[in-house]
Structure 1
Amino acid sequence: MVNQSSGGPPFCALCGSLLSIPTHDKTASCPTCLHLTPAKEFEDAINITQSRPGFFEKHRVGHASRRAAAAELAAAELGKGATVREICPKCGHDEMSFRTMQLRSADEGATIFYTCTKCSYTYKLNN
């Protein structure tokens, strides 16, 4: 990816964060370190950004892939959660570990994964 600019840097001189070019203020405030850059440095600024074909495609992960990756991670970490007094439906043991993960959209409840600390039986509960 190539970034060319003339007429003033669009990046903070201290931390390198991308700056928003001010419209009415006399300074641009860095969103990361709050360093102030005089607005006159942006006068007549021309910024051109180019990327090679397919650059963004390799960074894109589909919804189904994210869900599968989250489920795989949850399965790998099932036995590492906190423990609660919960009866195992398989062996009747009274202690299970649990973990929660947000596998569905943000406006829906988290998924709770329970694992029996005795027999390792697992199940999930969608709230």
Structure 2
Amino acid sequence: MEIFNNRPGFCPSCGSILPPLQVKGNVFCYNCKQEFSPDVYSGETSEYTIHFNSYDPSKLSKKGNRETDTAEADGPVVERKCPKCGNDKMSYATLQLRSADEGQTVFFTCLKCKYKESENS
């Protein structure tokens, strides 16, 4: 009897996390001891895709107008001096690239020249 919403990788009877899918054979729930076919994992994916902002020079303002450049920012804008051109506005994005007990990596992009740099926080 299924009482839980069937989510890939979870027991449809008790809702517990199922053990990793083996190459062949059925899956046994550690909690309720029921046996399920490998179909209980259907819909589960193990691939993740990270999409980064693309650089499009046609979107740069011709006059270096800050309001125009800020409107073209790829993320939140912070006051930070660009080491390449000296502009004082950069957009940023963060990703957790290292282990969970370490800080995140911050990627900064200059709004004027599109120079990119990263910082581990």
TM-score range, shorter chain: 0.5 to 0.7
Structure showing greater radius of gyration is 1
Structure 1 unaligned blocks of 5 or more: 1-8, 21-29, 32-44
Q: CA separation of 1:16/1:60 partners in 2, compared to 1, >3 Å: closer, same or farther?
A: closer
Structure 2 counterpart of 1:100: 94
Q: Which amino acid aligns with 1:108?
A: E
Tell me by how many angstroms 1:16 deviates: 5.0
Aligned equivalents of 2:96 and 2:82: distance in 1?
23
Structure 1 length as normaliser, TM-score? 0.50
Higher helix share: 1
Question: Could you say what the CA RMSD is over the residues aligned between the two structures, in angstroms?
Answer: 3.5
Higher strand share: 1
Q: Which amino acid aligns with 1:12?
A: I
Q: Which amino acid aligns with 1:76?
A: N
Name the % identity: 33
Tell me if 1:49 matches 2:43.
no
Structure 2 counterpart of 1:12: 3
Greater RCO, CA 8 A, separation 6+: 1
SS at match of 2:84: coil
Structure 2 length as normaliser, TM-score? 0.52
Q: CA separation of 1:121/1:46 partners in 2, compared to 1, >3 Å: closer, same or farther?
A: closer
